[in-house]
Amino acid sequence: MSALIEEVNKRRTFAIISHPDAGKTTITEKVLLFGKALQKAGTVKGRGSNQHAKSDWMDMEKERGISVTTSVMQFPYNDALVNLLDTPGHEDFSEDTYRTLTAVDSCLMVIDAAKGVEDRTRKLMEVTRLRDTPIVTFMNKLDRDIRDPMELLDEVENELNMACAPISWPIGCGKEFKGVYHIHRDESILYQSGQGHTIQDQKIIKGLENPELEAAIGEELAEQLREELELVIGASNEFDLELFLDGQLTPVFFGTALGNFGVDHMLDGLTEWAPSPMARETEDRKVEATEDKFTGFVFKIQANMDPKHRDRIAFMRIVSGQYSQGMKMNHVRIGKQVNISDAVTFMAGDRERAEDAYAGDIIGLHNHGTIQIGDTFTQGEKLKFTGIPNFAPEMFRRIRLKDPLKQKQLLKGLVQLSEEGAVQVFRPLINNDLIVGAVGVLQFDVVVQRLKSEYSVDAIYEGISVSTARWVKCDDVKKFEEFKRKAEANLALDGGDNLTYIAPTMVNLNLTQERHPDVVFMKTREN
Ligand code: G4P
């Protein structure tokens, strides 16, 4: 096997999807503990401690206790090299999350077992469905009183339309939580409370009929476990690798992230079954991860990652081949050769210089405004990766300057921020307004703060009656011209000069669509 294939096969690149508060941060912390990337749990979100997560760069995040940025952590586990892409946790700020999901090969779905499937998980699962991303499930918070586990599986099956294959099964819950029975290994692993910040020595009882089980968890619970398992194993699906890789079946693990229990079972499953870096589609052909030549795409641009550097970093998913320091890449959209001498990797939050990186890895390129989300880089071939969307914003504000003389800076700032995907900006064709559109309301605050700190412009918002926006196109030039003439008052250019229909109401949008059936109104746009 070539060295490249060996490196690629080792890699597992995944992200966590969950509803806020289900335990994503906690489980990330424990995963890093197992990956030896943290010495002691409690440092990812140790509010107030100076060892706070490296992803909490911006002051605002710290103030609000939410992570606006996406970061990447790489660590070894078993024989695998795992890349965990962190996704912003706040409900509001989801555009970045969506795009991050285009850069992974599998997802971990964390569910609060007291609550079951919640809104945001539902929404994010819709996104993973677009690419049939394989999903591993972790039912969290078993140290609390949870819902009937069978009912939880039913809910995932019915609401998310995905078969469940339990790999472990809980023994009690809440105060009575004794551990899990690992169905594949035929062993009970016992839980000790109060050990959440370390990797625990495990007490394992082999076999369901083992009398040690009675001694450890009591006769009643042991009997109940055996009965439940008979039912569960009869009624639920067996794990099937092919269905899992197809996104149709999810292996389900039970545990408590806070108690650091069961997280290792989940990681074992994930590293064993989740796919190594997968092929990605371009406009012309599919690119396999093990192709010799380097290719990659940018899914995220982040500013101010390190207050000392004040730079912007473009996050690139390597799709094929290998990156090595100093290599030349073709920045396909602008048709230019660039010399990449100082890409960064994200080893567990520390920015280090990437010496080598392979398909499946994420590297960070310093960006001086030339890189946009969705850009493809190759070793020469003219390719364009597809499937990295911009989403039509759902909230709008007019943005205005306190000092009107700085209009040029404001525009420059907004266009750059929109290139990053931090916000979207629209310039109506008929006036000089600047309309800012966002998917989540938090984006507005981020933009004003960044305009001030990075572009020295003081801007304020005003309400505006815009309800939604759609990118428009039409194959018929004549009909498109007619549409543009009639709808001029509602047309605008976005940050990338794409024509957009700005609808004051949904009714207006529907009517306009009916009147111009040949015009395509798009909710998402790819660069
Ligand atoms: P998120 O990133 O998905 O939003 O969730 P996070 O990990 O921050 O967890 C949300 C809350 O749930 C936290 O409590 C966390 O301690 C708790 N939690 C996570 N996993 C478990 C678990 O297995 N069992 C129990 N009982 N609780 C769990 P918090 O009080 O909101 O925050 P904190 O002050 O503890 O940090």
Beta carbons of 377 and 316 less than 8 angstroms apart: yes
Residue 164, pLDDT score:
98
Closest atom of ligand 1 relative to the 27 alpha carbon = 7
Beta carbons of 144 and 306 less than 8 angstroms apart: no
Q: How far is the CA of 40 from the centre of ligand 1 (A)?
A: 17
Q: Which of 111, 143, 258 to mutate to test the pocket of ligand 1 (most atoms within 8 A of CB)?
A: 258
Closest atom of ligand 1 relative to the 22 alpha carbon = 3
Residue 38, pLDDT score:
60
Which amino acids are annotated as binding site for GTP, given as ranges?
18-25, 86-90, 140-143
Q: Rounded distance, CA 406 to CA 58, Å?
A: 25
- For residue 131, what are the CA distances in angstroms to 71, 102, 121, 424? 22, 8, 16, 25
Residue 446, pLDDT score:
83
Residue 255, pLDDT score:
97
Q: Which of 16, 18, 21 to mutate to test the pocket of ligand 1 (most atoms within 8 A of CB)?
A: 21
Residue 51, pLDDT score:
38
161-167-170-171 Cα dihedral, nearest 10 degrees:
150
Residue 59, pLDDT score:
45
pTM: 0.83
Q: How far is the CA of 29 from the centre of ligand 1 (A)?
A: 11
Site residues for ligand 1, CB cut-off 6 Å: 18, 20-26, 45, 89, 140-141, 143-144, 256-259
Least Cα distance to 81 among 90, 69, 73 occurs for 73
Beta carbons of 144 and 258 less than 8 angstroms apart: no
Q: Rounded distance, CA 495 to CA 500, Å?
A: 10
Residue 329: exposed, middle, or buried by beta-carbon count in 10 A (0-12, 13-18, 19+)?
buried
Residues of the chain with pLDDT under 50: 40-70, 348-351
Residue 388, pLDDT score:
83
Residue 52, pLDDT score:
37
ipTM of the complex: 0.97
Residue having the nearest C-alpha atom to atom 11 of ligand 1: 21
Phi, psi angle pair for 394, to nearest 5° = -115, -5
Which distant-in-sequence residues (6+ apart) come within 8 Å of 136 by Cβ? Answer: 14, 106, 107, 108, 109, 250, 251, 253, 266, 269, 270, 273, 274
DSSP code of 167? S
Q: Rounded distance, CA 377 to CA 527, Å?
A: 14
Identify the structural domains of the chain with CATH numbers, from first to last: 18-55+108-273 (3.40.50.300), 280-378 (3.40.50.300), 392-526 (3.30.70.3280)
Q: How far is the CA of 44 from the centre of ligand 1 (A)?
A: 12
Q: Rounded distance, CA 385 to CA 498, Å?
A: 19
